[in-house]
Structure 1
Amino acid sequence: MSAWLPTAPCTPGACVEPLPAGRALPRAVLRLTAVAVLLLAGVAVVCTPLRTRVPAVLVRCWCRWIVRAAGVRVRVSGAAPPEGGLLLVANHVSWLDVPLLAAVRPARMLAKSEVRRWPVAGPLAARAGVLFLERDRLRALPGTVAVIARELRAGAAVAVYPEGSTWCGRARGRFRRAVFQAALDAGVPVQPVRIRYLSGERAVGTAAAFVGEDTLLASLWRVASARGLTAEVEVRPVLPPGRHHDRRALAAAAEPEHGHPGKAHSKSMRTL
């Protein structure tokens, strides 16, 4: 593994809230069943040989339904992202971040190359237009940046998680600068999005975190078993092209504030 590969100190044992008592079993089963039904419906659409382009509004609704079916309330604040070529960047806590970001604006996702080799999910991800990054090969990075820039010039939205690794939500990583070069090269805006998960209405929770050696199955069960889990998605002011002239400054401007997350802007908050 390359020394430059981003890693987070968060682990399930040290950071993640424990599973609830057995009384959560019926609730978790019902939620996971609903998630499975929605996923199968999405897979059917993706695998339809003669399918037409799915309207963006339906993609956004489907992604919101996935999160809601898992038992997570969603609150979105801020203005809608602009149309056209756009680099969406967000902090990374959970697998839930993917449908949450797509609910803000459907986009081509950047994922680690290992996902391509996953059974079932890998071929589906490739068919859905996911861009793959070989994280442990530094030489491959310029080529990935060039591919992202090409998609942005063509008017596509591309979603990335520049921390390069998931964090528990109570701590955050720094945004890696490389992907911001694609926005500079393509001359497109950057849309920062901040995601955080609340346990109840007060404290930042870690039940949704998918970190370290955690398995997807364990994370799915933990989310479905949780009570009072809320995802807050803050669409921050867009960073227009030309305002920041190098990727270091652009990455710094896009980063969420380090330390404890600030209070939500209740006037523009929408609960889904």
Structure 2
Amino acid sequence: MSHPSLTKTPFLIRGWRIARISLHVLIGLTLATLVLPVSSRSVRMSIIQWWCRRLLHCFNIRLTTSGTLPGKDTHGVLFVANHISWVDIHSINSLLPVRFVAKLEVRNWPVFGYLVRKSGTIFINRTRQRDAARVVQIASNALKLRDNLCVFPEGTTTEGVQVLPFKSSLIQAAIDANTIVIPVAIRYAQPDGSLNLAAAYAGETTMVESMLAFIHMRSPTVHLHFCQPIMAREMSRQALAEFAHTEITQVLYPAPQINQQTQSQQAVA
């Protein structure tokens, strides 16, 4: 029996979703072209947050959260997250306006590439080793100016079955800005708690295929867990990356709990 989130929606509902998404994207393109360039930072961030929240609604994507959810007064924080889908960006932005550091290829995403360019995304060319230093400087200055930033230190998307080792270079920005780092664990789950692998925008999957996958799902869910803040200045960037990786991994893949009685019996034996 198929899971509800993977069971295809009826044809009419899919058509209705596509119509709503298309209209909302057109609204986003209009706002990005005419309104965002002349708006103040606070207005621009509010518009982006509203647009991302409505986009999730158009796709019928339910967002749930746990942990220490950042308040509206959160500023100058570096969020560090695992990366599974383009939905990650819109999910975080729907809760708290954040600028992202993204790989250069994101600029070429259909439609969304234009929107993320206009929303203040910082792009990094991962094929050029020296580009990291440039991006760290830009990110550090943005944090000092009280912008919230988010990086995906895995450097790529995954299916969500593991968290790849974190690259530490971009995390240096938080140390230079003397701010805090908040790890964010992202998970797409089935109603029974198992992973929703169809939500991943990874491998050879195209943007259009990924969007259609979500349109076909009845009730896709994305869950964000916000871990405890970490003072960046207290660690090296390598140690900070490893600690954030451990925090996220423990949330997503907790070690199985062993029955205490079994442990006691083993100890006695």
Q: TM-score range by the shorter chain?
A: 0.7 to 0.9
Report SS of the residue matched to 2:23: helix
* 8 Å contact from structure 2 (residues 109, 207) kept in 1: no
Extract unaligned runs of 5+ from structure 2: 1-5, 256-269
**How far does residue 120 in structure 1 lie from its aligned partner after superposition?**
5.3
Cα deviation, residue 215, structure 1: 0.5
Question: 1:154 & 1:257 partners in 2: Cα distance?
Answer: 31
Structure 1: which amino acid aligns with 2:18? L
Partner of 2:3: none
Q: Provide the secondary structure at the position in 1 that maps to 2:199.
A: coil
What's the counterpart of residue 22 of structure 2? 36
Given the alignment, which residue of 132, 139, 151 partners 1:160? 151
Shift of 1:107: 1.4
The question of 1:109 aligning with 2:100 is answered yes
**Aligned CA distance change for structure 1 residues 119 and 96 (closer, same or farther; 3 Å):** closer
Q: For the aligned residues, what is the CA RMSD?
A: 2.5
Structure 1 pair 195–48 and aligned structure 2 pair: CA distance change class (3 A): same
Equivalent residue letter for 1:246: S
Query: Where in structure 2 are the equivalents of 1:1-272 lying within 5 Å?
Result: 24-48=10-34, 51-53=38-40, 54=43, 56-81=45-70, 83-117=74-108, 121-243=112-234, 245-255=235-245, 256-257=248-249, 261-262=253-254
Which segment is superposed worse, 39-48 or 123-132?
123-132
* Residues 132-163 of structure 1, C-alpha deviations (whole Å, 9 max, x = no match): 10011112221111111111112111111111
Aligned partners of 2:80 and 2:69: how far apart in 1?
Answer: 14
Could you say what secondary structure the match of 2:233 adopts? coil
Distance between the aligned counterparts of 1:56 and 1:153, measured in 2? Answer: 17
Cα deviation, 1:2-49, whole Å, max 9, x if unaligned, reads xxxxxxxxxxxxxxxxx756x643332222222222222222212115
Q: Contact between 1:75 and 1:232, CA under 8 Å: does it hold in 2?
A: yes
Amino acid at match of 1:52: S
Letter in 2 for 1:143: R
Unaligned runs of 5+ in 1: 1-18, 264-272
Fraction of identical pairs, as percent: 30
CA distance, structure 2, for counterparts of residue 75 and residue 227 of structure 1:
16
In structure 1, give the amino acid aligned to 2:77.
L
Q: Which has the larger radius of gyration?
A: 2
Contact 1:145/1:178, CA 8 A, preserved across alignment: yes
Alpha-carbon offset, residue 208 of structure 1 = 1.0
Provide the secondary structure at the position in 2 that maps to 1:136. Answer: coil
Task: Decide whether aligned partners of structure 1 residues 239 and 151 sit closer, same or farther in structure 2, where only a CA change above 3 A counts.
Answer: same
Measured at CA, do residues 228 and 234 of structure 1 come closer, stay the same or move farther in structure 2, by a change above 3 Å? same
State the secondary structure of the residue aligned to 2:34: coil
Q: Please tell me whether the aligned partners of residues 172 and 258 of structure 1 are also in contact (alpha carbons under 8 angstroms).
A: no
Q: Is the 8 A contact 1:28 1:221 kept in 2?
A: no
TM-score normalised according to structure 2 size = 0.81
Residue aligned with 2:215, SS: helix
Instruction: Give, in angstroms, the shift of residue 202 of structure 1.
Output: 2.2
- For residues 233 and 157 of structure 2, the distance between their equivalents in structure 1, rounded to whole angstroms, comes to 30
The answer on whether the counterparts of 2:185 and 2:251 sit within 8 Å (CA) in structure 1 is no
Structure 2 distance, partners of 1:136, 1:258, is 31
Counterpart secondary structure, 1:93 = coil
